[in-house]
Amino acid sequence: MKKAVSLLVVVIMLITFSGLASAQTELSLWYHGAGNATERAILIGIIDDFNASQSDYTVALEEFPQESYNSSIVAAALAEDLPDIIDVDGPVMPGWAWAGYMAPLNLSEGALDDFLPGAIGSWNGEVYSVGLWDAAVAIYARRSVLEANDIRIPTLDDPWTGDEFDGILETLQATGEFEYAFDPGMAWKGEWYNYAFTPFLQSFGGDMIDRSTYLSAEGVLNGEAGIAFGNWWQSLFERGLAPGTSQDGADRETGFIDGKYALQWNGNWAGVTSLAEVGDDLLFLPAPDFGNGSIIGAASWQFGISSSSENKEGANAFIEFAIQDEYLAAFSDGIGLIPSTSGAAAISEYYSEGGLLEVFFELSNRQALVRPVTPGYATMGLIVEKALADIANGADVQDTLDAAVDEIEQDIEDNGGYGFEM
Amino acid sequence: MTAMSYETRERLILSLRYALLILIAAIFIFPILFMVMSSLKPDLQLLRDSASLRAFLPVGDISLNNYADAFERVPILRFAFNSAFTTAVSVGASILLNSMAAFSFAFLQWRGKAVVLSLIIATFIVPFEVVAIPMLLIVNNLPWIGPQGIEIGWLNSYHVQIIPFIADSLGIFLFYQYFRDLPDELVEAARIDGASIWQIYTRIIMPIAGPILATVAILKFLVMWNAYLWPLMTIRSEELRPIMVGLQYFFQLNIAWGEIMAYLSMVTIPVLIFYLALQRAFIESIATSGIKG
């Protein structure tokens, strides 16, 4: 009997201690990078380091393909099955926060002091997400082409003016050496249109919506500046300076490299490939200034916390751990994107002083403007994208922008202002 | 009209007919040829060739590198197994269940049969996308007996990819249409001989249902092998993902077109093999019972 009692005590102790040994709370992390071995290796390295750095939490990674990631998140939200930590594309974040999928971050004071503005996802006065990198757009050009045509090389402090840029396009087109002087990337349908082209609109002085209220686009999208932008935009295609919406996707990928296009509007993610093909002759130039500064888009993928997480403290701890400079630099070195802090840029391969893509960090730092920070962006983006395509295809500028304004405002009204006071 | 000119005219018509058939065949074959040839080329060359006839020729820098890279990027064998497993079980179960349902509609007498059949046929017009979200909410609350006893929710499992797709209105309709055209004497003779309903189904009807079995199997195979939206909504774990979701792995910031073509070439092979294996019965089914619309 005594033996039996002793055995029972031992069994109970074993069960108890094995329970204690596995008392770490598991945090689920969903990530959009399935299929990218480099991203996966870096992220798993961060997770392993985090798991080893403390004893309260372990992070478990589930990867999803980027193209379908948002659908998976929405389905999980419907099924009330969201993970603790999610990553979210910058312009999508306000929608998910408004829909109640996400909770605000609670990072240490000063944790984001050195961050690029585009890498911080704020909505409604709170930070909901933070990016381990950002992306930027520049004009790709060949030094030899500019010099041969007596075109000055613009700088961050002294970019081309709108008129100057327009004249340069005419000059390059007139050489007859190029099929088109400028490739804005019309073949890349979808979010590229808003991310890449609405900064031109903003440089003219317009915008997709009045950011002081986020309730109206009247006079902003279809005001004087908006119309001026629309006329210039349409003229690019009417004058044959740029390929239109029927541009072949293959030409978009190879046209500049092969010399079909003199200038190309492209992102930093294409920088390394283009450098390998074009070599030292390649220049990355700032956006033209149409009167209200050189402006480019901002905000890429960022980490946030789901509102349904029962382990928000742990999720915050992981995110704060992941945004250390060494990890930001590792991501940048691995996938070529812009590190989110100057500290990380300084130790990164491409963005440190003298690095091949150094200029993009400053572009992102000085010219970036995030897309409208509103849950309504998802619909607004589709409307503006269509308007940009229609204008490029010859639609009446004023009518098209007026119609876009009506649609945007109707959507805002239908959704009760998307959280903004009407 | 002379005999010679008649012969010439016949030859001309025959030639035109063959030319037309070759043209139609080319329309179907060229995309596959483009896919296979592109899978052998590096990305930039693939894109440059795409606007010319070179796209259909194995020219330039040809290699199997895209296939090797695709295997590195995606756990293809795992995904292929998942798709093969869910497809095989679904096709088998679907044939059994739907043929039994159709047998009931065709040969058994029960109250409300016509109404139920009409309702089943009416579901043809409801696209899957419409019912996807309600289905998600339903399966998320269904019980299942798992390793830890009764669990609630089917998400992230094989059975969530199989069970909702076993019962299939199109399958029932096709079987029903085929059974209905069979001579009544077959069933009556069996009944007179004392055969049970189960014996009539297994020994009389199903042995002569080969063509429609092949048709339903092919159609179900295509639906299950190409499953995309539903797994996207219900599967979280890479270990359970089917092959079509894997295609999305290649759409990164810099899209790997060559690898996409290599992956698609590999994904298409099982479909072609399955179809070729059953095509004779499939064509016979169309020619005899007919999908008459």
The CATH number of the domain where B85 resides is what?
1.10.3720.10
Judgement on whether residues B241 and B115 belong to the same structural domain of the protein? yes
Query: Which of helix, strand or coil describes residue A27?
Result: strand
Task: Determine which of B249, B250, B260, B263 to mutate to test the interface with A (most A C-beta atoms within 10 Å).
Answer: B249
Region B257-274: mean pLDDT is: 91
A65 touches chain B (CB under 8 A): yes
Between residues A5 and B291, the one the model is more confident about: A5
Q: Both tokens of residue B31?
A: 């995309």
What does the pLDDT read at residue B255? 84
What does the pLDDT read at residue B287? 62
What does the pLDDT read at residue A17? 46
Within this chain, domains A26-135+300-370 and A138-295+376-419 share the same CATH topology = yes
Q: Point out the residue among B136, B248, B251 whose CB comes nearest to the CB of A75.
A: B136
Judgement on whether residues B25 and B111 belong to the same structural domain of the protein? no
Checking if the pLDDT of B293 tops 60, the result is no
Region B176-186: mean pLDDT is: 90
B151: closest CA of chain A, how far (Å):
15
Top-ranked range on mean pLDDT: pick from A169-183, B6-20, B215-229: A169-183
Between residues B182 and A234, the one the model is more confident about: A234
What does the pLDDT read at residue B197? 92
Checking if the pLDDT of B289 tops 70, the result is no
Domain containing B66: what range? 1-73
- Each residue of A4-57: pLDDT tens digit? 555 555 555 554 444 444 578 999 999 998 988 888 999 999 999 999 999 999
| Number of domains observed in the structure of chain B | 2
- Out of A140-144, A362-366, A402-406, B2-6, least confident range: B2-6
pLDDT band at A2 (very low <50, low <70, confident <90, very high): low
CB A95 within 8 A of CB A67: no
> Which of B39, B54, B73 is a domain's end point?
B73
pLDDT band at B186 (very low <50, low <70, confident <90, very high): confident
Q: Point out the residue among A30, A78, A250 whose CB comes nearest to the CB of B50.
A: A250
B293 located within any domain: no
Region A199-225: mean pLDDT is: 97
Residues B197 and A223: their CA atoms lie apart, in Å, by 77
> Which of B22, B52, B73 is a domain's end point?
B73
Does A35 sit within 8 Å of B73, measured CB to CB? Answer: yes
B4 located within any domain: yes
Domain extent listing, chain A: 26-135+300-370, 138-295+376-419
- Each residue of B213-224: pLDDT tens digit? 999 999 999 999
What does the pLDDT read at residue B285? 67
Region B111-139: mean pLDDT is: 93
Region B128-134: mean pLDDT is: 92
Does A277 sit within 8 Å of B236, measured CB to CB? Answer: no
Residues in chain B: 293
Q: Which residues contact B56 (CB under 8 A, 6 or more apart)?
A: B30, B33, B34, B37
Judgement on whether residues B103 and B244 belong to the same structural domain of the protein? yes
Judgement on whether residues B79 and B108 belong to the same structural domain of the protein? yes
Checking if the pLDDT of B3 tops 80, the result is no
- CATH number among 3.40.50.12240, 3.40.190.10, 3.40.50.1970, 2.40.50.140, domain A26-135+300-370: 3.40.190.10
> Which of B49, B73, B97 is a domain's end point?
B73
Instruction: Please name which of B193, B167, B170 lies closest in space to residue B94, comparing C-alpha atoms.
Output: B167
What does the pLDDT read at residue B292? 39
Interface pTM (ipTM) of the complex? Answer: 0.77
B244: closest CA of chain A, how far (Å):
11
The b-or-e profile of A354-386 (16+ CB within 10 A means b, else e) is: ebbbbbbbbbbbbbbbbbbbbbbbbbbbbbbbb
A41 touches chain B (CB under 8 A): no
Mean of the per-residue pLDDT values for chain B? Answer: 90
What does the pLDDT read at residue B277? 84
- Each residue of A101-135: pLDDT tens digit? 999 999 999 999 999 999 999 998 999 999 999 99
Judgement on whether residues B132 and B247 belong to the same structural domain of the protein? yes
CB A268 within 8 A of CB A138: yes
Provide the percentage of residues in chain B whose pLDDT is more than 90: 74
Q: Both tokens of residue B3?
A: 């005999």
What does the pLDDT read at residue A9? 54
A61 touches chain B (CB under 8 A): no
> What 3 state SS string does A307-350 have?
CCCCCHHHHHHHHHHHCCHHHHHHHHHHHCCEECEHHHHHCCCC
Region A72-93: mean pLDDT is: 93
Chain B residues near residue A277 by CB distance under 8 angstroms: 44
Checking if the pLDDT of B290 tops 50, the result is no
Mean of the per-residue pLDDT values for chain A? Answer: 93
- Each residue of A359-403: pLDDT tens digit? 999 999 999 999 999 999 999 999 999 999 999 999 999 999 999
- Out of A7-11, A139-143, B136-140, B232-236, least confident range: A7-11
What does the pLDDT read at residue A237? 98
What does the pLDDT read at residue A162? 97
Judgement on whether residues B52 and B85 belong to the same structural domain of the protein? no
Q: Point out the residue among B236, B249, B253 whose CB comes nearest to the CB of A62.
A: B236
Checking if the pLDDT of B158 tops 50, the result is yes
Q: H/E element holding B170? A: helix B169-180
CATH topology of domain A138-295+376-419: D-Maltodextrin-Binding Protein; domain 2 (3.40.190)
Checking if the pLDDT of B14 tops 80, the result is yes
Tell me B140's DSSP state. Answer: T
B132: closest CA of chain A, how far (Å):
10
Q: Point out the residue among A67, A79, A273 whose CB comes nearest to the CB of B254.
A: A273
What does the pLDDT read at residue B79? 96
Does B250 sit within 8 Å of A76, measured CB to CB? Answer: no
B115 located within any domain: yes
pLDDT band at A336 (very low <50, low <70, confident <90, very high): confident
Judgement on whether residues B188 and B125 belong to the same structural domain of the protein? yes
What does the pLDDT read at residue B254? 74
Judgement on whether residues B78 and B50 belong to the same structural domain of the protein? no
Top-ranked range on mean pLDDT: pick from A10-14, B13-17, B288-292: B13-17
The b-or-e profile of A324-334 (16+ CB within 10 A means b, else e) is: bbebbbbbbbb
Residues in chain A: 422
Judgement on whether residues B162 and B198 belong to the same structural domain of the protein? yes
pLDDT band at A154 (very low <50, low <70, confident <90, very high): very high
For the entire predicted model, the pTM comes to 0.83
What does the pLDDT read at residue A7? 57
Chain A residues near residue B76 by CB distance under 8 angstroms: none
Checking if the pLDDT of B278 tops 50, the result is yes
